[in-house]
Amino acid sequence: MARLYEHQGKQLLKEAGISIPDGGVAFTKEEAGAIAGKIGKSVALKVQIWAGGRGKAGAIRFADSPEEAERIAEELFGTQVKDFVVKKILVEEKLDIEKEFYAGVIVDPSMDVQAPRILFSCEGGVEIEDVPEDKIAQAVIDIFLGLKPYQAMNLARKAGVPPKLLGSVSQVISDLYEVFRRYDCRTI
């Protein structure tokens, strides 16, 4: 089963029409500084490893200038984070986040389901395992019928998405499911 780094997954999302932050992958401190310079504003430097909890591990840092991005990248390259040696860093624009959501699709392997299950919560920005169950809206998707627009809208509504955001959030949920289906994912 293939595993993707964050930057690879974001590229698939971008190809599906989901907005992602501007950025690029750096393999050297100089590349990190150059990407930050091209972006032209504050950036996030995100270590690319196959592990969650990077923020808590100090593997996501912020820089306000290309020089600072280069200095932080130099500190990060070659270090070990969660048993992985840092060889590449995603440098992307730092977003002013007003509200975060969580959206994911998994294959539910239980005998009763054996189908894709969409999880959505207005409690984004944390590990989904830490979110109370009553704050997570879920839907099992029939693999032959796929995700219908009204299902994505109902999922967002059930989770408490404000009415003015229902259309755009339900579109992202639908697009996320399409990426899941198109690439035969087990989780996204």
Residues 96-107 pLDDT 10s: 998 999 999 999
**Per-residue confidence at 89, pLDDT binned at 50, 70, 90?**
very high
Please state, in angstroms and rounded to a whole number, the distance separating the CA atoms of residues 18 and 20.
6
Q: Rounded to two decimals, what is the model's pTM?
A: 0.88
Judge residue 11's burial from the number of C-beta atoms within 10 Å of its C-beta, 0-12 exposed, 13-18 middle, 19 or more buried. middle
Say which DSSP state 5 is in.
-
Q: How far, CA to CA in Å, does 29 sit from each of 21, 81, 159, 177?
A: 20, 17, 41, 36
Amino acid letter, residue 158: K
Domains of the chain from N-terminus onward: 6-93 (3.30.1490.20), 102-182 (3.30.470.20)
**Which of 99-126 are b and which e, b meaning 16 or more Cβ less than 10 Å from the residue's Cβ?**
eebbbbbeebeeeeeeebbbbbbbbeee
Q: Of 29, 39, 98, 89, whose CA–CA distance to 64 is shortest?
A: 39
Q: Which two tokens stand for residue 15?
A: 């190809």
Please tell me the predicted confidence (pLDDT) of residue 140.
95
Residues 2-59 pLDDT 10s: 789 999 999 999 999 999 999 999 999 999 999 999 999 999 999 999 988 898 899 9
Query: 48 and 112 in contact (C-beta within 8 Å)?
Result: no
Query: 22 and 92 in contact (C-beta within 8 Å)?
Result: yes
